[in-house]
Chain A
Amino acid sequence: MKRFTREAVLLLIAVPILLWTLLPIYHIFLFSISSKDSAFSGTLWPDQPTLRNFGTIFRQEHFYLHHFWSQIWNSLWIAVAVGVITLAIATCAAFAISRLKVRGGRAVMNLALFTYFIPAAFLAIPMYKAMGMYGLLNSRWSLVLAMVTLAAPYAIWVLKQASDKLPIELDEAAKIDGATPLQLFRLVYLPLMTPSLIAIGTYALLLAWNEYLYAYLLLSHEQTIPLAVALGHFIAADDSPWELLMATGLVYALPPAAIYYAFRRYMVSGLTAGAVKA
């Protein structure tokens, strides 16, 4: 009887959690499959569900969607570039700090941590000004470099924690065998670090794909903006087509959700390990 009550209580807690989590997401889905008329009727399920919104999007048949394909390409290009560059920079830095014990490594780690603690919207303002001075505004590279700057500190920190755990004997054995630092890096370090590298690459990629504020500040031409900024434009007008906005939002949200769930195992352990140590 006691066990039964316990299960009932657990289920009773689960219902509001599920509702709270899914309501805004279900609402996106609901709008995506509604026609313009039924979207505004405030029902919980459309009278005639339709996939026509997606057709409109993919054929770029609305004023707000004329550059849909080039914008989703921009999002992809930027996300992949940020993932690759962050991974390269952070892996090298973590290797230098943790395994090669480079002088000043600790100071660099602290600078990185400090960057990690600057609220993102605050750094955006000087960053915007600096990108203007570098002549990078409205180039996709400005967003890529900005996102690398934001993603790298956490990446270095997590990778350093992970590589501190590798036994020091490995390096010593490699040194005795006459390995160069590059051979140690390529043949010993990278293979052992693969799980953390997957987690960090995915983290940087998702961070860049999902970013709104920096993209909105740094890019403004219809041709160069990623999908996130294009979605923001919808809201400018009072008569914006909500059903198209929500359908586009669904298309935009699916890839990161899918990637996240595909790599969930790596992500959760990789990203929380450092935090718990703290």
Chain B
Amino acid sequence: MSSIAIPHVPAAPPRRGLTTWQAWGAILIAPYVLVFLAFVLYPVSYGLWLARHPESYVQLFADPIFIRTVVNTVFFLLIAVNLKFLLALWLSGFFVHERTWIRWLSVVFLLPWAVPSIPTIFSIRFMFNPEWGVINSVIFRLTGLDGPNWLNDPHIGLGLAMLTHIWKSLPFWTLILIAGRLSIPREQYEAAAVDGASAWQKFKYVTWPSLRTLYLTSTILSMIWSLGDFNSVYLLTGGGPADLTHVLATLGIRYIRLDQVDLAMATIVCAMPLVLPLVYYMMKHLSK
């Protein structure tokens, strides 16, 4: 396989193109190229080859939970990601205020992003346990009524998975938008203030025009990654009750666990119409 990594070095004897600098360049870049060939290109090609049988797709669409999973995934992307970004946009406006205590608050605010998913998502899962969880205990103590069934209800379960996703990744995207807001020149706000602009007008005419591109690319990137968010669903609901809260990521892994690799790969292929346009947009944008 190493022979494939060499194309950066022409095989011809040293002409003016192949200096020691180019040779060293080829040597230094080779380890990553090897990693890419062995753990991305080969697996993905092989996986797509496994997904070539039309029967896999027939079988997939015949699985009663598949359509439900696709619908869940689309809702997850549209609702969770957009809600997260509206919140991040608003919070970034809060965090750019120059106060010492706000700086400390931002340090705490980053915790969900800094700590591993598994303990925190299990913690949320326990909080919402209908029988012993702290939420229903508090509801019972305050009202004397039993609280909702939370994770045992497919709609609420998926909603809570979205909230978990937002809880986990909101800090990161808020940070990105804060950095975006801080790169807007202060003079623009001062000029707007001189013109007597209201807070809303400052946002509309100064902040948003500068932030719009970052906001859109971040939203798209987050949508791509959220498609691969396995933890927020699997660790919270496990796809249940009755496999009604799966998203494509957890369904694919479920097929792997059932030793149906063909179906798992077919699931991914079915997600491609969702992913590829977004990836294409990002690639075009970033490699400029």
Contacts and interface: CB of A to CB of B under 8 A. Distances in A.
A233 to B, nearest CB: 11
A96 B252 CA distance: 37
Interface string A117-134: 111111111111110011
B29 A128 contact: no
B95 to A, nearest CB: 9
A217 B122 contact: no
B114 A122 contact: no
Contacts of B230: 120-121, 124, 212-213
A209 B112 CA distance: 15
B94 interface: yes
Contacts of A180: 20, 24
A129 B46 contact: yes
A181 B271 CA distance: 44
B200 interface: no
Contact of A152 (B32, B167, B250): B32
A27 B134 contact: yes
Contacts of B114: 206, 256-257, 260-261
A119 B47 contact: no
A130 B175 contact: no
Contact of A268 (B28, B101, B175): B175
A28 B25 contact: no
Contacts of A22: 108, 111
Contacts of A14: 101-102, 105
B76 to A, nearest CB: 12
Contacts of B179: 272-273, 275-276
B119 A92 contact: no
A204 B271 CA distance: 27
Interface in B12-49: 17, 20-22, 24-26, 28-29, 31-33, 35-36, 38-40, 42-44, 46-47
A242 B126 contact: yes
Contact of A10 (B28, B94, B227, B229): B94
A257 B117 CA distance: 12
A55 interface: no
**Interface on chain A toward B: helix, strand, loop, or mixed SS?**
helix
A277 to B, nearest CB: 9
A75 to B, nearest CB: 10
A100 B24 CA distance: 8
A246 B123 contact: yes
Nearest to A93: B32
A25 B123 CA distance: 7
B39 A127 contact: yes
Contacts, number: 290
Given A89-B31, A93-B31, A126 B7 contact: no
Nearest to B171: A21
A92 B28 contact: yes
A42 interface: yes
A96 B117 contact: no
Nearest to A127: B43
Contacts of A278: 214, 217, 285-286
Interface of A: 10, 13-14, 17-18, 20-25, 27-28, 31, 40-44, 88-90, 92-93, 95-97, 100-106, 108-115, 117-130, 133-134, 145-146, 148-149, 152, 156, 180-182, 185, 206, 209-210, 212-213, 217, 228, 231-232, 234-235, 242, 245-246, 248-250, 252-253, 256-257, 260-261, 264, 268, 272-273, 275-276, 278
Q: Identify the 9 closest CB pairs spanning chains A and B, nearest first.
A: A119-B228, A42-B137, A249-B119, A102-B25, A126-B47, A121-B249, A100-B25, A126-B43, A130-B43
Given A120-B228, A235-B122, A249-B118, 15 more contacts: A17-B105, A40-B132, A42-B137, A90-B32, A117-B221, A119-B226, A122-B249, A122-B252, A124-B230, A126-B47, A127-B43, A129-B46, A129-B261, A130-B38, A235-B238
Interface of B: 7-8, 17, 20-22, 24-26, 28-29, 31-33, 35-36, 38-40, 42-44, 46-47, 50, 91, 94, 97, 99, 101-102, 105, 107-112, 114-120, 122-127, 132-134, 136-138, 141, 167, 171, 175-176, 179-180, 183, 214, 217-218, 221, 224-231, 234-235, 238, 249-250, 252-253, 256, 261, 264-265, 268, 271, 275, 278-279, 282-283, 285-287
